[in-house]
Amino acid sequence: MRFDLITLFPELIEPHLTAGVTRRAFERKQVDVRLWQLRDFAEDNYRRVDDRPYGGGPGMVMLAEPLERAMAAVRQARVEAQADAGSAAPMVIHFSPTGRRIDQALVQSLAQGPGAILLCGRYEGMDQRFLDRHVTLELSLGDFVLSGGELPALALLDAVARLQEGVLNDAASHEQDSFSDGLLDCPHYSRPEVLRGLPGQVDEFPVPAVLLSGHHVQIARWRRERSLELTWRRRPDLIEAARQAGKLSVQDEKFLKTLTN
């Protein structure tokens, strides 16, 4: 799959492509990322890509014409590379506070697709005429405002990359992630078996005994119940969504009833 990013700050993206476990996906071109500096498509001596908004008001608006030229170049490059061979025109994603919140279901869908063109806005945003002409989907990290679209783009690329085959050391790791089955993930523990308190303290914090039992059925049930409990306490909306989707077993429902009593 191929992702083309139109951005004013490609230097924010580049380090992420060579760091951490997800770099494997980028190095192997399982997730092929191409960066496009928007200023390269400005035609004046100052490489201007923004101007004051019509109607007045604070801030600057990214100009439509450089964006149009950048988009045309990206589309042509994808055609020449046959990145979209056998598929429809690539999805164009714009990161905006007004967009749909990114979730795991969307990430899983994108991870199985051909990629997309990502628009990383800045300032007060992009000229709406350009967005109306090209954008397929608007996405947001949440109900807050960032300085630009680069951080959401990085988050999306990371989430997609870690789902590619062979990227994680254990292929089953992402199957236990929060949201993969509609619920939050359960707690995890590692060495030592008993965590001692700070010097001078006598507190001890042992790993839950069931995780040391070797009884895989009991461990699986414990993890499921902790996942249900955490989701019920922090994101009850996800419990209801899982219920509506038929993802809760009779045993799950029995356990949830004990939490409400």
Residue 144: count other Cβ atoms within 10 Å of its Cβ.
7
Q: Is 40 labeled as catalytic in the residue annotation?
A: no
Query: Rounded to the nearest 5°, which phi and psi values hold at 27?
Result: -70, -35
Q: Is 162 labeled as catalytic in the residue annotation?
A: yes
Q: Is 141 exposed, middle or buried (0-12, 13-18, 19+ CB in 10 A)?
A: middle
Q: DSSP assignment, residue 43?
A: -
Give the number of C-alpha atoms closer than 13 A to the C-alpha of residue 218, restricted to the C-beta side: 8
Q: Which of 10, 53, 97, 114 is catalytic?
A: 97
Q: Which of 2, 75, 122, 162 is catalytic?
A: 162
SS3 label, residue 95:
strand
Q: Is 23 labeled as catalytic in the residue annotation?
A: no
Q: Is 124 labeled as catalytic in the residue annotation?
A: yes
Q: Which of 124, 181, 185, 225 is catalytic?
A: 124
Q: Which of 177, 181, 185, 225 is catalytic?
A: 177
Q: What angle do CA 77, 6, 55 make, to 5 degrees?
A: 130
Annotated catalytic residues are 97, 124, 162, 177
